[in-house]
Amino acid sequence: MPSACILGCEGLTLSTAEKAFFRKVDPWGFILFKRNVDTPEQVRALTAALRDTVGRADAPILIDQEGGRVQRMGPPNWPKYPAARKFGELSTNDPLVRRELVRLGARLMAHDLVSVGINVDCVPVLDVPAADGHEIIGDRAYDMDVASVARLGRAAAEGLIAGGVLPVIKHIPGHGRAKADSHLELPVVNTPYDELEAVDFAPFKVLSDMPLAMTAHVVYGAIDAKRPATTSKKAIRLIREVIGFSGLIMSDDLSMKALGGDFGERTAAALNAGCDVVLHCNGDMAEMKAIVRETPALSGKAKVRAQAALARLAKSPEPFDVEAGRARFSAAFA
């Protein structure tokens, strides 16, 4: 069985050492970053090589293709997509127009991704930004309004699924109030529980039927004052029971500085808390070796959730006129 982890690689092609390591470890999936992306032909060859190491044609290969600041594939080989907030700011009196354009943008992204062998996009961001929250979320969120975030997040997820790509809802149970960047330090949120449930958790409840979710490295004092959600049994139980998410939960990147301890300790803490799989992004071999020493094979409920997620991949994408779609999308943002 695959190991309960998602790993990255260092460059544009796999080294001999990486090939041997991935064959031995058999990670459930992989994630690509800008360092792994050059041309469509190169990305296609890399995704094929990654899947060859594990011998699974449907092995999930993830990317963060949000648009705006967070877009790993961009010009000149792929279009530049707007940040999520740009959809919420479109001047229209009809919210259905915004929804249609979010879905269309996600469907276009899915077309780009599938054509190079990528089948999971870490979208939509369902965080509701607080006015005094850190800019790390900022315009990555669709709106400052709960209902709008939920509606537009659903549209993005639908567009991806229609195009043959699985969405990942993030950062569950909500990163919008954090006053620090969890890449660099551990944010602590002391908002009362009732307010968290009414605002932060709400979009995740609306999309609780999605196949995949990524945790927030954030301490919520009202849930668990000692541990960030990623390594908190109380927070993972809340995600399951209050938010009602029954899909596969992956950690956010274990190399982020919000987490304490060495990589083995971080891995064990996330899995013991209830994450189904752990995510490590930077391709550092020493860090990955420390992680896999603490990573078991996918089994039990985690295995069932992983299989159920991949079962959501359409055998064939929804019929789609790409050129007409691009023209419609470009006109809306002209």
Q: Which pairs from 233-239 meet CB under 8 Å and 24+ separation?
A: 233/272, 233/273, 233/274, 235/173, 235/273, 236/273, 236/274, 236/275, 237/274, 238/173, 239/172, 239/173, 239/204, 239/213, 239/215
Residue ranges with strand state E in 128-205: 166-172, 188-189
User: Confidence class of residue 89 from pLDDT cuts 50, 70 and 90?
Assistant: confident
The whole-number pLDDT of residue 51 equals 98
Q: What backbone torsions phi and psi does residue 288 show, to the nearest 5 degrees?
A: -65, -40
Q: What is the number of residues in the chain?
A: 334
Question: In this model, does residue 199 exceed pLDDT 90?
Answer: yes
Give the domain ranges of the chain: 3-332
The whole-number pLDDT of residue 334 equals 85
Question: In this model, does residue 259 exceed pLDDT 80?
Answer: yes
CB 19 within 8 A of CB 53: yes
User: Confidence class of residue 126 from pLDDT cuts 50, 70 and 90?
Assistant: very high
State the residue for tokens 């009602």. 244
Amino acid letter for position 84 = A
User: Whole-angstrom Cα distance, residue 177 to residue 129?
Assistant: 6
CB 46 within 8 A of CB 283: no
Token readout for 230 is 């990623």
CB 50 within 8 A of CB 8: no
- Angular region, 70: left φ>0, alpha ψ -120 to 50, beta rest: beta
Q: Which pairs from 143-151 meet CB under 8 Å and 24+ separation?
A: 143/85, 143/88, 145/88, 146/198, 146/199, 146/202, 146/203, 148/88, 148/95, 148/98, 149/203, 150/126, 150/202, 150/203, 150/206, 150/207, 151/95, 151/99
Chain centroid, CA 212 distance in Å: 8
User: Whole-angstrom Cα distance, residue 166 to residue 259?
Assistant: 27
Options 252, 253, 276, 280, the catalytic residue: 252
Options 58, 183, 209, 262, the catalytic residue: 183
DSSP 275: -
If residue 146 lies in a helix (H) or strand (E), which one and from where to where? Answer: helix 146-162
Chain centroid, CA 283 distance in Å: 17
User: Whole-angstrom Cα distance, residue 16 to residue 37?
Assistant: 19
The whole-number pLDDT of residue 135 equals 87
Question: In this model, does residue 85 exceed pLDDT 80?
Answer: yes
User: Confidence class of residue 144 from pLDDT cuts 50, 70 and 90?
Assistant: very high
| pLDDT (mean) for 308-314 | 96
Residue 54 CB neighbour total at 10 angstroms: 18
User: Does residue 178 or residue 78 have the better pLDDT?
Assistant: 78
User: Whole-angstrom Cα distance, residue 295 to residue 279?
Assistant: 11
Question: In this model, does residue 309 exceed pLDDT 90?
Answer: yes
Question: In this model, does residue 265 exceed pLDDT 80?
Answer: yes
User: Confidence class of residue 257 from pLDDT cuts 50, 70 and 90?
Assistant: confident
| pLDDT (mean) for 212-237 | 97
Is 183 a catalytic site residue? yes
Neighbouring C-alpha atoms within 13 Å toward the C-beta of 256? 22
SS3 99: helix
The whole-number pLDDT of residue 306 equals 98
CATH superfamily to which 3-332 belongs: Glycoside hydrolase, family 3, N-terminal domain (3.20.20.300)
Chain centroid, CA 56 distance in Å: 21
Q: pLDDT over 70 for what percent of the chain?
A: 100
Q: Could you tell me which of 225, 216, 226 has the C-alpha nearest to residue 249? A: 216
User: Confidence class of residue 133 from pLDDT cuts 50, 70 and 90?
Assistant: confident
